[in-house]
Structure 1
């Protein structure tokens, strides 16, 4: 069967633009950063069976995603290109699904707006080149939304249609925690809309999803739910204030629109509050426009966003940053419907040969969508910022200079970098500068004692933004006190990469006090 060209296919232009943005970010081949290193060490160092259960380094990811990554690593190695291939494909897949949805349900203006929203999404661009599962959250949630809308528009779906839908939801459950969160909303809409037409046929295949969820929970998710580490990590971020009353809760919900506009939506930082509220106004109008087309469409799109708030109020999933990525497909589809409805009102006004309120409102909606998306297009098309520090090169440089018997001192913030790129740098210790109170003796270990018995010491670290840099600065000074720096690597303004020849104990100057981890 051939596919005839439509005006909606103009959305192929932003699709190609989006693919170019994703591939450009992927092609930078940047070193893995801390979060990537921690999950990548699980993928590299564990086999398929060992990925079942609690992961190391306080990490969590869907089992299907972990196994897919492990398969790629087994076949092609651990280069950054390999590790980031699945996230890239998922991001491109999200774009393709957005184009297909626009082609099926929207006109040219709506389809272009929908695909452009995805193509310029800061979350989609970032996670298309990051060894994390969030790109898969976008893909599987978008696929689940599209599959739900296809099912909803069928007058009398057969049993096999419901079996297929629940099967898609089951696979999404194994591969994406975000899609798992969206499934209850999609399922309620599917069952609610299909009950009169299909009765138990709409519900019975639920057992397919339940089996997949049960297996996933027992194998992986139960180690994530209620995690003390994650609870401490997120704190109150993404949740309403404790013991908030109705007024405080409403204020939090309103303020959350700006927070989500910053991340994960990545809207223009100029007048962010106004831009965010206008954007969410368009989302509301888009949900209404979708409901005008088919009531269940509007309920589906609005339901995903509302459910995100429900989970945050219940303190189950924070509505913040990457934890809110799963609501974005519904948001972007709603923007497409808003732009499409506006364009249709303008066309109706032109055909009627008179200006009326509907035409003016439609023109305003289309212009507002364009005004919000245009700065994103310009910003995303601009030059890419490259990380100032190259930890990959720094650790490999040190590994090339390492000799048997050398001591390596590594800042705690960089232990995963060394473990990933240069695990041969052993023996290793992690010093933390711990100066005693004035006049008190050192309760830790003086650096002179740490290096006792070694002829050479290799020192490495890259303090992360927001972390104390004092240990790194002190190590530089103390290195000169206990030995002679014979090699220095220049791999970024904050990176410490030193090779030190240790002097005899009698020739060492006093050095700092450290705790060794």
Structure 2
């Protein structure tokens, strides 16, 4: 008996150490990406300019000037951060880093409470090594806040379920539900889900006092959500630009089996980053739902309701079900995958065989995201890293030079312009001439002498690459003096002498 107890204690210590190691690795991946200090790219630069140029009150009037929409709490936090620490990339991305690291601990808490050891390590390891989550941990966007907000509410719900009713704790729970809605758009689905589950939990317990508090929580959360929609989200949902941008991401009416298949494939690719394991992960998902429902139906229902409400929002064309907009759902899927692994393990009677199969399957699925994350430790993604090009212009700029800025490079160019003391230099902001490329040529025909051309986030379709189109014309209009590119980035800089 003593020997068995010591073995269990040793196994528990090993499990805790392994879980801590996985969390530490996840923080390392995120910190490396954050400290790489890549330039703000198009979307980040647009929201950064809005945050710098607008007052706190003006940030509540959305869509913002660059057709951006973001939760008010997120915008206020980032603006406050930049007021204290300056307008560096690190200040703009601090919110995402903090919420990303917090999410690692939150999913570990949740998994440890409801999954077995194997499922816990598996789901947290997938979360820690997710390339999408790591990327958005250093992005001036609200999406990691969406993940943290959803997980925080689920942890609060699980805490309520574990304890006897306390009016003080449920008041805090209600206050959190009300306030968190202003920091995340997608968290409204989780707020509704945990509120309903808590009410059902107390209803099943026949605790009238607790049920009344749960109903008050739902009511006040509903009022907060209604105010948020009327004053903030309604103008965003009416934006023709945003609706057009996301039109392919809404649920068709009626939804077809083919659509569900495509949706599953797209979710696996982005944001889960686990494409290539479609059938295995689908089986783990189903097994995980069964396992979690049997062990803790309240938590399973909260996760399922969150996804159900998201689906309904997509069905009524109010919320796009694609890519970064679904980032908040990543921990939901990963928790079910972990539960599915536990379910598989429980079906195999032989302890050694169960351990071996579970380990091999987990390693097989984890190999790709983990190896990719280690590769990015050595070579992080830089994307539209415009700073080196801005520095090159500054070092080689002559008195009569002009800068032509490709329209999608405009936000990042304007953000970095004062940082390189080029704000008094002559520059031309090119127009958006998608579908009418000859208008680019008309702009160029008005230029002569030494002209710098800077390109970023170049638009391309089946018939034209706008950078190639413009450069081909420049080669006819003048002579290329020099060209500058940084390997691993998508920013191009040319200096032409135009005749």
Smaller-chain TM-score bracket:
0.7 to 0.9
Among 302, 306, 309, the alignment partner of 1:304 is 306
Instruction: Give deviations 1:272-302, integer Å, cap 9, x for gaps.
Output: 2xx1232132122122212211221222222
Partner of 2:460: 466
Task: Tell me by how many angstroms 1:395 deviates.
Answer: 2.5
Distance 1:436 1:283 in 2: 47
Query: Is 1:145–1:330's contact at 8 Å kept on the other side of the alignment?
Result: no
Task: Tell me by how many angstroms 1:500 deviates.
Answer: 4.7
Partner of 2:3: none
Partner of 2:447: 451
Partner of 2:386: 391
Matches within 5 A, 1:306-455: 306-343=308-345, 350=351, 367-383=360-376, 384-387=379-382, 390-399=385-394, 401-402=396-397, 406-422=401-417, 424=423, 425-430=425-430, 446=442, 450-451=446-447
Asked if residue 234 in structure 1 is aligned to residue 246 in structure 2, the reply is yes
Distance 1:45 1:419 in 2: 12
Partner of 1:203: 215
Instruction: Give deviations 1:244-283, integer Å, cap 9, x for gaps.
Output: 4xxx61232133212211111101x4xx2xx123213212
Partner of 1:513: none
Distance 1:320 1:435 in 2: 26
Query: Is 1:342–1:366's contact at 8 Å kept on the other side of the alignment?
Result: no
Instruction: Give deviations 1:5-63, integer Å, cap 9, x for gaps.
Output: 75541311211111111112112211111111111111122221221112121111111
Distance 2:24 2:339 in 1: 21
Task: Tell me by how many angstroms 1:388 deviates.
Answer: 6.6
Distance 2:266 2:439 in 1: 44
Q: Secondary structure at the match of 1:57?
A: coil
Partner of 2:120: 111
Task: Flag structure 1 segments of 5+ consecutive residues without an equivalent.
Answer: 503-507, 509-517
Partner of 1:512: none
Query: Is 2:177–2:221's contact at 8 Å kept on the other side of the alignment?
Result: yes
Query: Is 1:72–1:83's contact at 8 Å kept on the other side of the alignment?
Result: yes
Report the number of matched residues: 474
Partner of 1:36: 44
Larger Rg: 1
Partner of 2:234: 222
Q: Secondary structure at the match of 2:319?
A: coil
Instruction: Give deviations 1:204-235, integer Å, cap 9, x for gaps.
Output: 13454345434533443222123211111112
Asked if residue 259 in structure 1 is aligned to residue 266 in structure 2, the reply is yes
Task: Flag structure 2 segments of 5+ consecutive residues without an equivalent.
Answer: 1-8
Partner of 1:86: 95
Structure 1 stretch displaced more, 278-287 or 485-494: 485-494
- TM-score w.r.t. the length of structure 1 is 0.81
Among 183, 204, 223, the alignment partner of 1:175 is 183
Q: Secondary structure at the match of 2:320?
A: coil
Distance 2:13 2:439 in 1: 75
Distance 1:330 1:433 in 2: 42
Distance 1:472 1:255 in 2: 32
Residue 480 to residue 91, structure 1, CA distance change in 2 (3 Å): same
Greater relative CO, 1 or 2 (CA 8 Å, sep 6+): 2
Task: Tell me by how many angstroms 1:339 deviates.
Answer: 3.1
Q: Please tell me the root mean square deviation across aligned C-alpha atoms, in Å.
A: 3.2
Partner of 1:132: 141
Task: Tell me by how many angstroms 1:409 deviates.
Answer: 1.8
Distance 1:27 1:307 in 2: 37
Partner of 1:281: 283
Distance 2:375 2:219 in 1: 48
Task: Tell me by how many angstroms 1:397 deviates.
Answer: 2.8
Query: Is 2:433–2:440's contact at 8 Å kept on the other side of the alignment?
Result: no
Asked if residue 250 in structure 1 is aligned to residue 257 in structure 2, the reply is yes
Distance 2:72 2:435 in 1: 44
Structure 1 stretch displaced more, 477-486 or 325-334: 477-486
Instruction: Give deviations 1:129-161, integer Å, cap 9, x for gaps.
Output: 11111111111111111111221233x412222
Instruction: Give deviations 1:292-316, integer Å, cap 9, x for gaps.
Output: 1122122222222333333333332
Residue 103 to residue 408, structure 1, CA distance change in 2 (3 Å): same
Task: Tell me by how many angstroms 1:66 deviates.
Answer: 0.6
Partner of 2:19: 11
